[in-house]
Structure 1
């Protein structure tokens, strides 16, 4: 079992998953709870025997498995509220977009920072664009945790980013593709058509692959035809955890828009 890095006073949540990326995802998004990770029911029972557990999240490979687990339950957690969800997705290279890197959510810190390093040592000013404040908060925290001093600007859709680019020229743009008003594809087209912006390196971090496959999540009992985004899934989980009135530490606030 892998321990969490959260406050001792926070409510304890066990994430049941043998997927390392999923484990990191939940620990990052639910950082105001004490999140423990168990790969299987044996590890669950070990953790539950040593300390109180307030809630559990079972991460399935499909909606069917999530639904089955919701009925079956988890050994050792008979009296603990159980959330069941599924994560699914794939990754496709973004060469045809002409971007520096193409990453699919959920992205690990190491992969994101490696993509940033590949842009070059000159990078200081960054523009992060995503319509989900949770994503901007996570990326900003990853960036500011580095020894190199970066200046991070944020925008919550393509139109806001375009207005920022009219007066500023960041060293790199980090963007989602699926956004309201002006999406990432349209913003890239505008940048490529502008001689002053076309050479700015772009890192795409998105929940949609170029082949059209949606990287989606579902929460058993709360879903829809096309699935939930990662941000929506985490909001549902957080609402459920807060309904249990678990103790938790104060979460960091999303970065305010700048520029």
Structure 2
């Protein structure tokens, strides 16, 4: 169990910086990797004793102003401030998950993404576990991609590694998103991390970097069976008013190999529906 996720995050971030990175002189004989606690406190304009309490998770939780000061001292961006603020809320016992809201989001988004006949899409929870997925995403993404599948576990599987033409970038981005969005005290998260820690050296290396950032946009290059190398533009969005889900869509640029693959798979899926009788039922409805 993590004692203070915020403290652990700050320790790794200060260890990644050298004094000269933040305008301080580096003296010989330093015994600390990266910045010392008192140096971070000086840069942030707070007392060394207060900063020590923050790292150790003791006492009063830091304000937004203090978090912004720490971010400036450690050269962190706005995403890091949001992440630290959420950790403060979790450590102070703020409500985490509202099950009723989850069901409402899933019920409203399910029919919508099913109707996206030209856009692969899937919905995940905080732990990157698939909640909803449409037929195109099932057909394009490597392996069995169904509700209940954990995306991070899938990315570290053999079939995904073989299909992803820029696997290292994908792994880094999804792990950063997992750290950014997940509840560090969630037992389900610990199950995922424990499993990957035991079996995958690449996971241990990437996770140890403590990078936390949202999964906003980027490219996903896949070797899709029968279509070769295709590149999608990946975009992730939060449903309005919901902090527990992330909707990811794959966009295929017009005229690209990805668009050709989507078109062919859409036609193939429609043919399967017709042969199975769905087309007849729709025609008589």
Quickly name the TM-score band, shorter chain normalised: under 0.3
Which structure has the higher relative contact order (CA within 8 Å, separation 6+)? 1
TM-score (norm 2): 0.25
Answer 1 or 2: which has greater helix percent: 2
Bigger Rg over Cα:
2
TM-score (norm 1): 0.27
